[in-house]
A and B are shown apart, each in its own frame.
Chain A
Amino acid sequence: MHRNNQVLRTDYEKCTGCRLCELVCAVKHDHVSNPTRSRIRVIKWEAEGIYVPLSCQQCEDAPCATACPAKALTRNADMGRVEVDYNKCIGCRTCVSVCPFGAMHFVAADRKVIKCDLCDGDPQCVRFCDTKAVKLVDAGDVSLQKGREAAKRLRAADKKASSLVA
C-alpha cells in the first residue's frame, strides 16, 4: 500500500466523544498524557451530544505552507503529509492562524507548533477508535461512505413517496 495514497477520514456522527484519540496521540508523540499535545482534537457540543474530531487534512496546496514566512512547512508526497521542519520554524504561529481546520497547534510548554504526521503510516487514533469515527482510507475512496449514506436516504425517501401513490 502506498502511504501517500492514504488519508484520515472522520465520520463525526460515529464519534462518542471519548477523547481516547487525544490521549494516545500525545502519548505516542510526546510520551505524556496532555490533550494540548494531541494533534487530533475532539470539538464538542455537549448540550447536543455532538462531537467532531478534527485533524490535519494534509492539504495538497496547504495554506500553512503558503503562509509560512520561514518556508518551514512542506508537503511530503511520499508520506502523504505536510511536515514541519523545526530547524527552519521560527514559532510565529502564522500557520495556526491560517489553517482552515484549526489543525495546527502550539504547545505552550515547548513553544513549538505541532501537527498530525499520520504516525508515519500507522495512525494511533485510528487504531484505538472503537467506533471507527476516524479511519485511514485510500484517498480515492473518501466519498464512498458518504455516497452510500446519501443513497440510503434516497431509497428511504423513495419508499415513503411511493407508499403515498400506492
Chain B
Amino acid sequence: MKQTVNNRTGGIVRNLALPALLILVWQLWALNLPAGSPAPSPVKVVQTLGELLSKGSLISATVQSLGRVLMGFAMACVLGIALGLLMGTIRALRENLDPIIESFRPIAPMAILPIAILWLGTGTPTALAIVAYASFFPVVVNTVHGVSHVDRKLILAARTMGISQWTILARVVLPGALPSILLGTRLAMGVAWTAIIAAELAVGAKSGGGGSGGIGQMMFVFYAYNIDLNAIVVCMTVVGLVALCIDQIFKVLEKRLIPWRQEA
C-alpha cells in the first residue's frame, strides 16, 4: 500500500519536474538581464496577466475571437454537413465535387487571406470567411466518409420496410455517420481556432493595425506598438488554454452524443 502511494507521488513529482525546472531556469535567466530589457520572465508574465485581466481587455478580446470562431464554424458546419450528406448519398454529386474539394484542400486558409481582404475588407467578415474556409474541409470530408461507411444492410432494411428517403436520411444515415461527423467537427474547431489567430495577426500586420480586434490582433499590437513580450506570452497561454478547453468540450460532447460507440 505504501509502495503504491510512493509510486504515485513519484509520478506526480516526475510530471511536474521538467516544467517547473524550465520555469525556474527562465526566471533565473531573466533576473540576470540588464534592467529595462524587454525579455519576458515568469513573474512579470503573471503580473501582466493580472493587469490585463483587471482591465478586462484580455477577456473581451478572447470573447471576440471566440465569437468569430463560433460563427465561422457554424457556417462551415451547416454547409459542410449538408453538402457531405448529399455527396455521401448521391454518387454523381460526389464524383463531380470530389476533385474540386480535394484540390482546394492543400491550399492553406492563410493563402486565401489576401483575397478575402480584397473582397471583404479587414474586419470581421474576413475573419469569418477564413474560419469558415478552414473548418469546411474537415467537416465535409469526414461527413462524406461517415455517410459512405454507414452499414448498407441497415439502409436496405429500412427501404424494404417502406420508409421514405428523408426518414432514412434523418434516422439511419445521420446517426450512422455521426461519429465521423463529430470527429470532423472537432478537427474543424481546432483548425478554426488556429486560423482565427492567424487571420487576426496577419490582418493586424498587413493593414497597419486596422481595428479588427480579437486576441490575435491584441498580440500584434503588443508586438508592434507596445513591445510588451510579457503580454504576448500571456496571450499565447490564453490561446493554448482556449484550444485545450475546446478540445475537452468536444470530447465530452462525443461521449454524450454517441454513447454507443467509443473509439478514438
Report if A and B associate in a common complex: no
A-to-B contact residues, CB < 8 Å: none
Mark B residues whose CB is within 8 Å of A: none
